[in-house]
Amino acid sequence: MCGIVGYVGRAQAAPILLDGLRRLEYRGYDSAGIAVVDGGRLETRKCAGRIAALTQLMRKQPVSGSLGVSHTRWATHGKVTDQNAHPHFDASGKLALVHNGVIENYQALKDELIRSGDTNFRSETDTEVLAHLIGKLYDESCASTVDIPEKKARLLAAVRAALRQVIGTYGITLVHADIPDFMIGARRGSPLVLGVGDGENFLASDVSAIVAYTRDAVYLNDFDVVAAGRDKFEITSLAGDSTEHPVSKVEFTAEDIGKGDYPHYMLKEIFEQPNTVRDAMRGRLDPDECTAKLGGLNMTPPELRDVGRIVLTGCGTALHAGRVGEYLIERLANFPTDVEYASEFRHRNTPMTPETLVFAISQSGETADTLGALRESRRKGFRTLGICNNVASTIARESDGGVYMHAGPEIGVAATKSFTSQLAILTLLGLLFGRMRNLSATDGSRVIGALEALPGQIEAVLELSDQIKEIAKKYVDANGMLFFGRQFNFPVALEGALKMKEITYLFAEGHPSAELKHGVIALVRPDLPSVFIAPDDSVFSKNLNNIEQVKARKGPVIAVTSGNGPKHLKGIANEIIVLPEAPEYVMPILAVVPLQLLAYHLAVELCRDVDKPRNLAKSVTVE
């Protein structure tokens, strides 16, 4: 979850490192730090707070040098303090290390270091223990008379030896004051990418940090160790064996990860959804056969027909997308579909039949829990596919196939466009499997028509932003919100509540509308609005009845509806948001947009930090 940037080259490192950290701040913003090697000295600046605080510190206390590492932290071990900010150092103070992940056996390693006489620990972090361990192994092997090439070899050997003792996950980058123009990185369970430049090389936990400087990247695998200088790099395994990695071209540019004219990334990404939904479907609809084309699944038609059950697994917003997918696939393809929390899946003994197909859903493709579920599924012999937004991610590389979202970089911590892209892809899956089973060509053609209409309909919903902003102003003093939906829109209620919690910090819950009378109604009161996703569909009358129950108890109601819904809701709902008419199976893609806007506008009214909500980070790469 933390952000790592390392640089070795001919330019001044500090501006590059700070710029990279700003681009990675969505991955963690509890504290930040930088260490630069200059003339055999290690200059360090770090502090609790945002990147802006580090930038201000460095204006007062600048550093120089063309080799360095930097880090923006999402706290795991240890409080948010200056001392716990990265980089961390070995006992000599000459080795600086930044780390993303969790060293599970850090206490045992620390106890052993203390027994050996190393008691100079300055922080509460697991990372510092790893720095001390590497430094100890290096110092024991390296006399002061050893030349620079030998020092490089021995530091590399010390890194490998230390990491072989580690239980847990890591993405690390380190430098040593005695070794100029030399940087080491390694990964296990936490992403790390090498950026290849002209007379310079970069290491980062996300390619977005370095895309302004190079679009040539090497994505490291688990147990890879990379040693990089100005003009060359070498990637080896933890055992020391050389490994071959292709240099990939990054698909997006630095401009793609900017905010443009929008005040926040989240708003920009909400308004990108007509295009991102269109891109998720581009080239994947087959009007002649009235079906979808998903070649990335890497499955033949007979193999697809043999699928008897689907399991969808993910976390957070991706899990909610999976819940919509459960309704979609069961409706369109008429065979069992289940949804599993990725964090629970690999720890449960979930009954799985041989014809089960598993989909792991993750925007980043690096979500630790989802990656763990994917690996557990494959370990048990089940074909496991990915739905993700990063073609070079670990999930994309380790799955048996999958579908890329093509949503472009999503920087806002609260997921928006990735959710609707995932829903579009899950609808395509429902269409594909449906046409292989029970769905007629006529019905398949209707599904395609509904999907093709979506981008224009989303644009119409986005035109309601000013109306929704006024609604948000009315409820700025609310103590929270309840969200209700039925069938396809129950997961949308969950997602709407999640958005509200994430960026406003208000209490919010999502429920099936029918569960109102089974306990939730006890929460209804005048200062707690209820948001009902109640389009004019087969369960509209049921939703209307639930709305009446809330109004009878003086609870304010914000209704999201369509078709003839406004006629029935007039005089009952306090606020009515009208969506374009659409079939039930695509309505979630439209219905979630006003909920995203409602959360956004209310968060702005409450002066929240929309793109960097407290305690959260974008890509959850720790358990």
Q: Is 469 a catalytic residue?
A: no
CA nearest to 552, candidates 564, 544, 541: 544
Kind plus residue range of the DSSP H or E element containing 216: strand 216-219
Closest alpha carbon to 207 in 226, 191, 223, 222 = 191
Rounded Cα distance between 596 and 603, Å, is: 11
Nearest CA to 601 out of 508, 487, 472, 428 is that of: 472
Tell me the sheet residues that pair with 235: 226
Distance, in Å, from the CA atom of 72 to the CA atom of 138, rounded to the nearest integer, reads 26
Q: Which residues make beta-bridge pairs with 361?
A: 387
Phi, psi (rounded to 5 degrees) for 304: -65, -40
Rg (CA), the chain: 26
Active-site position among 46, 136, 612, 618: 618
Q: How far apart are CA 475 and CA 478, in angstroms?
A: 5
Residue of 2, 290, 315, 388 with catalytic role: 2
41-48 β-sheet, strand order = 41-48, 31-38, 67-73, 3-8, 201-204, 193-196, 216-219, 248-249
Count other Cβ atoms within 10 Å, centred on residue 374.
30
According to DSSP, the residues that pair with 188 across neighbouring strands are 170
Spatial distance between the Cα atoms of 71 and 34, rounded to a whole number of angstroms: 7
**Distances from the Cα of 473 to the Cαs of 207, 482, 601, 604, in angstroms?**
38, 17, 8, 10
Task: Report CA torsion sign: 405, 407, 410, 414.
Answer: negative
255 burial type by CB count under 10 A (0-12 exposed, 13-18 middle, 19+ buried):
exposed
Q: Is 575 helix (H, G, I), strand (E, B) or coil?
A: strand
d(C-alpha 443, C-alpha 466), whole Å: 36
Element (H, E) at 446: helix 441-462
| Residue 2 annotated to the active site | yes
Structural contact between residues 379 and 354, judged by C-beta atoms closer than 8 angstroms: no
Residues 458, 471: Cα–Cα separation, whole Å: 19
**Phi, psi dihedral angles at 516 (to 5 degrees):** -50, -50
Specify whether the CB–CB gap between 450 and 585 falls below 8 A: yes
b vs e for 209-226, b when ≥16 Cβ sit within 10 Å of the residue's Cβ? bbbebbbebbbbebbbbb
How far apart CA 159 and CA 580 sit, in angstroms, is 58
CA end-to-end distance (rounded Å), the chain = 10
Do the bridges between strand 67-73 and strand 31-38 make them parallel or antiparallel, or are there none, so unpaired?
antiparallel
Confirm if 324 and 426 have CB atoms less than 8 A apart.
yes
Active site residues: 2, 618
